[in-house]
Structure 1
Amino acid sequence: MGFIFAGLLGRKPICPGTECRNQLKLIVNVLGTISEADLGSIDKTKARKYINSLPYSSGIPILALYPHANPLAVDLIQKILIFLSI
């Protein structure tokens, strides 16, 4: 839901992936490296291994992506743009 809202706010996809692995890499680049607890909640072994193999990412602050956005919109995106099990 957060990626959809961010895409609407910026008028373009925040993570325009071309296939599953590419999409996961883009998501990790935006959200930052996934915690061990969240990684453990992924049921798909291949996805978990791939995400775990990605280099560390501190993420990109939403405000940096949308510097002119309403602060309430940025706050909402930050609250709903979290990693959930795949």
Structure 2
Amino acid sequence: MRLPLDDAGPTQERLAKAGEFFQLVGRSRSSRRITMLDDPLGKALVRRILSAPEYQALRRYALHWAAAACRGRSTASISIASTASTRLP
């Protein structure tokens, strides 16, 4: 059984929005990978403001920050009383 060919990739509108901030890796269709870098960290990497190790570390930090549900929460909104009342086993 042949699997359908997956040509799904970014649309022309998405590529236009990203401008120069994307990477295309791989020569053949089966190994091609497109990475969109139009977020602030990606733009800093493309502009060579950040090195590759710095970019990787900051992406990991952002992932952990989002996973910890800290996105959108400022440190000013965290109550010391509620933090102190939480006891760890």
TM-score, normalised with respect to structure 1: 0.24
Higher relative contact order (CA 8 A, sep 6+): 1
Higher helix share: 1
Higher strand share: 2
TM-score, normalised with respect to structure 2: 0.23
